[in-house]
Amino acid sequence: MDRVTAAARVQGWSFPLGAALRKGGANFSVFAKHATALELLLYERVDDALPSRVFELDPRAHRTYHY
């Protein structure tokens, strides 16, 4: 499992909710009003038991209002 640091990401957008393809990558927006932390887990195959990559998101740096 590969853990990706904050330096590998750029600022995202709060709209639309869910996953959206953007030029140069993908944007993920999640409503998380009371979250203290969030991880985005990516899997290579639908039946994998463990994620291939984990993106740790810091709510102080990766939050727009409640998203």
Mean pLDDT by 10 residues, the chain (67 residues): 59 84 85 86 94 84 79
Question: CA 48, 50, 54, 56 torsion: positive or negative?
Answer: positive
The per-residue pLDDT for 45 is 95
State residue 7's pLDDT score.
46
Pick the closest to residue 9 from 56, 51, 42, 50 (CA basis).
56
With tokens 């953007």, the residue in question is: 22
Annotated domain spans of the chain: 2-6+13-57
